[in-house]
A and B are shown apart, each in its own frame.
Chain A
Amino acid sequence: MALINVANREIQCKIVYYGTGFCGKTTNLHYIYGHAPARAHGAMRSIATENERTLFFDFLPIDLGTVHGFRVQFALYTVPGQVLYERTRVAVLNGVDGVVFVADSSPEKLEENFQNLIELETNMRRMGKDLGSFPFVMQWNKRDLPNAVPVATLDRYLNRRHVPAFPACATTGEGVFATLRAICKAVMAVL
C-alpha cells in the first residue's frame, strides 16, 4: 500500500522481486545498489543463510529525491525463492505495490518458474489483489546461458497476461535498470 504523507511531503511504495530459488533476484538488487547513483539509494540489508541464499528478504531503499516538493521513495524487497520458504514469501508480499517476476532462463527451471508464478497469483489473490490489474512486470534473467530457453517460449508459457518483459543478465546488469524503471513507472501510474 503506497503511503502518501502530505505532512512530511513523502511518498513511499513497496516493490517485491519474486521468483524461484537461484533465479537472480538478489543479484538484481546488488547490481542496483552498486550502479545507481549513491544519492539514489540507502544501505542494502540482506537476511541470508551462510551460503548467500535469501532466508527472509533483501531490502534496498531507493530515493528519487524531491519531485514537485515530494520526496519519492521505493522500498525494494526480494523474497526467498526456495520452495521451503513459501510462508515467508507471503509475509514479504504484505502491502506490496508492484511485483517483478524474475524467471530463470535455464531449461531445467521452466516448470519451476511456472509453478512459482501460480503460487504468486494465489498469494496475491489471497490478499485481495488481481495480478491482471496490478503493477506487474517480468524479467527473463540469465539470458547469457548457452542453453537459455528462447524468449518467445518463455513469453508463451509464463506471460499469458502480456505484461512488459525484459531480457536480462543480472550478473552483468543487462536489463536490470530497464526492469526497475518499468516497475517503478507502473506503480506510479496507479498511485
Chain B
Amino acid sequence: MSGESDMEQLTNLVVAEGELTNIARTLGRLALDTNAGHTLLLDKSGQLISAQGSGPQRDLIALGALLAGAFSSSRQVAEILGERDFRAIYQQGAYESIYTLMIGEQWLLVVVFDKQTHVGLVKVLARKASEELERILQRVRQGSAQAREQVVSVQFRDSVSNTIDLLFQD
C-alpha cells in the first residue's frame, strides 16, 4: 500500500490548543445529534486524541487500544478477502453498539450508541463529521513540525530520561 507509506513519513502528530477545541466541538455535536454515549477520535495506533459524550465513566484508554486493534485486524481480514475499500466496522450489541469509521489512513472516529438510535443515522452523521475532522486533521498535520519545536527541547528529553531511570529500577 503505497498511499499508506506516504502517510507514515510523519513520525508524530502535534495537536495544538485551538484545533483540539475544533475537534472536541465536532465530536460533541456528533454525540448530541446521535444521542451517543461516547464519540472518540483515535489515531490508528489506538491513542485517544479526544473523547466527548455523557455516557458512563469508562476506561477509554483501554477502549481505544482495543477498538484500534479490532479495526486493524478487520482490515487484514478485508485484505485477505480482496476487499478494496474497507473503511468502517459496526459492532452490534444488545444494549450498546459501536460504529468505527476510518478517517484518511491515519485516524478512527468511534461512535458508541444505544438501541434508541438507529445505526443508519449514525452512519450518515459520522460520515459528515469525518469530513469535517479530516479538514481539521489536515491542518494539524501541516502545523505539526512547528508546534513540536515548542514542546520537545533538549532539556525536556533529559528530564524524561531521568524520570525513566527513576521509575524503572531493578
Contact = CB atoms under 8 A, between A and B. Distances in A.
Contacts of A191: 11-12, 148, 152, 157
A164 B46 CA distance: 27
A67 B168 contact: no
B147 A56 contact: no
A127 B5 contact: yes
Interface string A14-44: 1000000000000000001000110010110
Contacts of B72: 90-92, 94
A87 to B, nearest CB: 4
Nearest to A11: B151
Contact of A177 (B44, B69, B169): B169
Interface string A172-191: 01100110110011001111
A170 interface: no
B100 to A, nearest CB: 14
What band does the interface of chain B fall in when counting residues whose beta carbon is under 8 Å from A?
35 or more
A178 B75 CA distance: 35
A174 B11 CA distance: 32
B94 interface: no
B74 to A, nearest CB: 9
Contacts of A174: 170
A84 interface: no
A36 to B, nearest CB: 6
- Residue from A1, A61, A96, A177 having most chain B Cβ neighbours under 10 A: A1
A152 interface: no
Given A68-B159, A94-B44, A190-B11, A37 B49 contact: no
B53 to A, nearest CB: 17
* B-side interface mostly: helix
B92 interface: no
A48 interface: no
* A-side interface mostly: mixed
What band does the interface of chain A fall in when counting residues whose beta carbon is under 8 Å from B?
35 or more
B161 interface: yes
B165 A181 contact: yes
B8 A128 contact: yes
Nearest to A96: B45
Interface in A43-62: 43, 45, 56-57, 59, 61
B85 interface: no
24 contacts: A1-B11, A3-B12, A5-B14, A5-B20, A5-B49, A6-B16, A6-B150, A7-B15, A7-B18, A14-B45, A40-B168, A67-B160, A70-B156, A75-B45, A75-B47, A91-B69, A91-B72, A91-B73, A97-B12, A128-B9, A180-B168, A184-B164, A184-B168, A188-B160
Interface of B: 1, 4-21, 43-49, 59, 61-62, 65-66, 68-69, 72-73, 75-77, 80, 106, 147-148, 150-152, 155-157, 159-161, 163-165, 167-170
Given A6-B17, A42-B62, A70-B151, 15 more contacts: A4-B13, A7-B16, A7-B18, A7-B19, A40-B168, A43-B62, A45-B65, A87-B80, A91-B69, A91-B75, A92-B69, A94-B44, A95-B43, A127-B5, A184-B168
